[in-house]
Amino acid sequence: MTKEIYTKKIFAPFLLMAAISFQLRAQDADTAKPVFKPHGNIWGLTFGDYVFKGNADTVGSGQGRGSNQYSKVPVDSRYFQFRRVYLGYNYDMSPKFSVEILLAAENDLAPGSIGNQNTNGDVLTDGKFAPFLKLADLRWKNIFKGTDLVMGQMTTPSFPLLSENIWGYRSVERTIADMLGTPSYDEGIALQGHFDPKANFGYNVMVGTGNSAKPATNNFQMFYGDIWAKFFDQKLVIDLYQDYEKLNWTAIDTSNANGYHHDRNTTKLLIAWTVPKFTVGIEALQTTLLGDVAANTLSNRTFYYTTFATDVSLYVRGRLYKDKLGFFARYDNYDPGHKISEITDNPRVVSYTPLTSAYDPTTKQQFLTFGLDYTPFENVHLMPNFYMNTYACTLPSADYNLNPKGSGVLGTDAVYRLTIYYIFGKKDPVRY
């Protein structure tokens, strides 16, 4: 036996073992889970308009629902306006934890500006546009199967997960609950989850301050609850929302003769059929306000009346030509005057004051908007649109104390706009 053959026989088993070991390690590398690396992304959006005021309600009726930004703006006004600028950052720290930060500037209305006939926007003392902290939350993913725990300042169950995204055109107008002042973001704690692996059935519950981005001013919390279901391959969406908030809650006793119970709760139902190129939806809302109208009597006493308001929104949106040209239309009917006759028909009442301005029971509103959506580049939208609010009085008489505005139609705000909207670093709800 030669030395060469002998050497091969001695080392052959070791070479075979090395080859097998290398192959097993290669298989392990192929099947091993990828190593998680913390990562994040910056995102943002902006929308604003060129505005022409074609008709003006001189009474200022639009200062109720939603504090209509065009209320009392003079007819023939022309101006450019930012209505929203966002800059956000999302960061995944681990497979289980992520954080979200959002700076927002909304409505550049400043003292002396044409658009500042009703309210101030997010501006500094020198009138310059400035952001505030809108979101700052920590998400603990799958704290139990199918459910995330969210803590901090976050979006509330009433808007973005379904309602606002299905409407898709927040750049044109808010959803009905948002217009009535229900917080779209709040500080608190929430559970968000689904009941099935395909996420056809889910829920979102939250406890918050009820004060949006501002610090808590009392010991009352606001409770939010939302459940939703999707059918027919997630084309049919049904969403039911409920909230409750104490506003004032003082006992009537010898030391506090003016104490009273004052709270608000809202029920909202959304039904929509949505596919990539077409969406039609209806959203109906009812808000009950306990003790929300302070009525003064002939004997100089004050009584608090309960009222309720309803709001119904019908909308449709779709694509006319591929992803380049779309359309949208929406009609809202808002009536806060239910049970107002209990006040106006009472001969002892000489005057009254609604405590929540967005729910002033004397003024109904009908809102209409429609327009085209031209998308020259993905996530960039140019939208000529028409925006109109018509106001009518809910009171039957023209008594000066109870109804100084008079009865019937009070006026109309009509606005022609070119809206410019773009988003980056995040999905565009108009396209998804």
Q: Does residue 231 fall inside a structural domain?
A: yes
Q: Does residue 9 fall inside a structural domain?
A: no
Q: Does residue 96 fall inside a structural domain?
A: yes
User: Is the pLDDT reported for residue 115 higher than 90?
Assistant: no
Higher pLDDT, 160 or 110: 110
Higher pLDDT, 134 or 276: 134
Instruction: Give the model confidence (pLDDT) of 318-356 as tens digits.
Output: 999 998 999 999 999 999 988 887 887 788 888 888 888
Q: Does residue 186 fall inside a structural domain?
A: yes
pLDDT category at 256 given cuts 50, 70, 90 is: very low
Q: Does residue 431 fall inside a structural domain?
A: no
pLDDT score of 294:
86
Instruction: Give the model confidence (pLDDT) of 353-400 as tens digits.
Output: 888 877 888 888 999 999 999 999 989 999 999 999 998 887 765 554
User: Is the pLDDT reported for residue 60 higher than 80?
Assistant: no
Q: What range does the domain containing 219 cover? A: 36-424
pLDDT score of 400:
45
Q: Does residue 23 fall inside a structural domain?
A: no
Read off the pLDDT of each residue in 258-262 and give the average, rounded to a whole number: 73
Instruction: Give the model confidence (pLDDT) of 304-323 as tens digits.
Output: 888 899 999 999 999 999 98
Q: Does residue 239 fall inside a structural domain?
A: yes
Q: Does residue 305 fall inside a structural domain?
A: yes
Instruction: Give the model confidence (pLDDT) of 181-233 as tens digits.
Output: 899 999 999 999 999 999 899 999 999 999 888 888 888 999 999 999 999 99
User: Is the pLDDT reported for residue 254 higher than 50?
Assistant: no
pLDDT score of 398:
53
Q: How many domains does the chain have?
A: 1
CA distances 123 to 30, 111, 127, Å, are: 55, 9, 5
pLDDT score of 300:
81
Domain CATH for 159: 2.40.160.10
Supply the mean pLDDT for the chain: 84
pLDDT category at 235 given cuts 50, 70, 90 is: very high
pLDDT category at 261 given cuts 50, 70, 90 is: confident
pTM: 0.85
